[in-house]
Amino acid sequence: MSRSRDTANQINRVNSSAADATAITVDSSENVLIGGTTVASSSGGLNIEVSSSGSSVVPLTLQNQSTGNNSGVYLTFRGQSNTGAQADYTYIQSVADDTTAGNGSIRFHTNGGGTIAERMRILPSGGITFNGDTAAANALDDYEEGTWTPTLKGSSGNPSGQSYSKRTGTYTKVGRKVHVQAYISVSNIGTGMSGSYAYLSDLPFTLSAGNSNYSSGLFGYIHNLGQNVNSLLAYGNQGSNFAYVTYQNGGGTTSAYLSPAGWGSTPSVMFSMTYFTDS
């Protein structure tokens, strides 16, 4: 149906099954409203309002009635070039029963210069793949940022009476890879700092087990240690949540383990490390 624009009137479509309630409104500015009579945005366009409440209410459902594997393009974003031809565009595709790869996935495509390419895929099993990659093993399945509380200790366990004037840690986790940073300033190392090795402990995620998952850390700043060192380093212990602390002196060719007494009584350190986790 065609109509001329009338700035003084609007067209209402009455839903007879709902006690003659207005279901669709086209106002004088050619805004289309479904379920309401007030334009929610000054930009106009299609406005959908849902008056019912509850988690089961779905404001908009797009269903493709194509046969076969029930896949199809569900939403397309297009622009117009100066010549009136369709410009490059982006579309979203749902693949409900694709048995080849990504069964039930949602895919984002672009058409640039006449070439259609998949840019991102959300897998039904969780995770995101990019640029046409279909392997679930390659999917990005986690991104997380947070804080953690580092602890200086010996291999015999946590000392008692330990206190800190500064004890902050942050982490970023992308997939299996974790990057941690920490700033620790001890006001009292406490008693019972013993054992064969000094630890930096309580990492936010357990390190992956196995010899292929060694990782190393760096202390970029040290102050008031209990012994003289030229550099202070660390390596993560696979399958645990701590790192051994090591050091080097002079022109030595081998790292040595820092002892728990090597922390001293009021050490301050800044630490960073990147490692893999299975969490």
Q: 86: buried, middle or exposed (CB in 10 Å: 19+, 13-18, 0-12)?
A: exposed
Task: Answer yes or no: do 94 and 203 share one domain.
Answer: no
Q: Among the listed ranges 13-17, 153-157, 213-217, 255-259, which one has the minimum average pLDDT value? A: 13-17
Please give the angle made by the CA atoms of 192, 193 and 195, to the nearest 5 degrees.
105
Task: Answer yes or no: do 215 and 129 share one domain.
Answer: no
| pLDDT higher than 50, residue 198 | yes
pLDDT attached to residue 199: 97
Average pLDDT over residues 22-42: 70
* Dist. CA 156–CA 197, nearest whole Å: 8
Question: Which amino acid is residue 124, in one-letter code?
Answer: P
Domain contains 39: yes
Share of the chain above pLDDT 70, in %: 72
| pLDDT higher than 70, residue 4 | no
Strands 46-48 and 32-34: what pairing?
parallel
pLDDT attached to residue 55: 67
Cα distances (Å, whole numbers) of residue 191 to 1, 163, 188: 86, 11, 9
State pLDDT tens for residues 235-247.
Answer: 999 999 999 999 9
Task: Answer yes or no: do 111 and 128 share one domain.
Answer: yes
Q: Among the listed ranges 62-71, 89-98, 134-143, which one has the minimum average pLDDT value? A: 62-71
Number of independent structural domains in the chain: 3
Task: Answer yes or no: do 81 and 192 share one domain.
Answer: no
Task: Answer yes or no: do 156 and 114 share one domain.
Answer: no
Q: Among the listed ranges 4-8, 25-29, 47-51, 126-130, which one has the minimum average pLDDT value? A: 4-8
Q: Is the pTM of this model over 0.75?
A: no
Q: 269, 181 in Cβ contact below 8 A?
A: no
Domain contains 208: yes
Task: Answer yes or no: do 162 and 239 share one domain.
Answer: yes
Task: Answer yes or no: do 41 and 150 share one domain.
Answer: no
| pLDDT higher than 70, residue 18 | no
Domain contains 127: yes
Last-in-domain residue among 123, 141, 159: 141
Domain contains 64: no
Last-in-domain residue among 81, 115, 141: 141
Domain containing residue 102:
71-141
Average pLDDT over residues 244-255: 88
pLDDT attached to residue 144: 97
pLDDT attached to residue 224: 96
| pLDDT higher than 60, residue 234 | yes
Q: How confident is the model at residue 41 (pLDDT cuts 50, 70, 90)?
A: low
| pLDDT higher than 60, residue 169 | yes
Domain contains 57: no
Average pLDDT over residues 24-50: 68
Q: Which own/partner contact pairs does 4-12 have at CB distance under 8 Å and 24+ positions apart?
A: 5/30
Please give the angle made by the CA atoms of 17, 21 and 23, to the nearest 5 degrees.
90
| pLDDT higher than 80, residue 21 | no
Task: Answer yes or no: do 124 and 162 share one domain.
Answer: no
- Mean pLDDT in the chain? 81
Task: Answer yes or no: do 153 and 266 share one domain.
Answer: yes
State pLDDT tens for residues 45-72.
Answer: 666 666 566 666 666 777 766 655 456 6
Domain contains 5: no
Domain contains 66: no
Task: Answer yes or no: do 125 and 185 share one domain.
Answer: no
Output the domain CATH number for residue 196.
2.60.90
pLDDT attached to residue 48: 65
Share of the chain above pLDDT 90, in %: 45
Task: Answer yes or no: do 154 and 270 share one domain.
Answer: yes
Task: Answer yes or no: do 172 and 266 share one domain.
Answer: yes
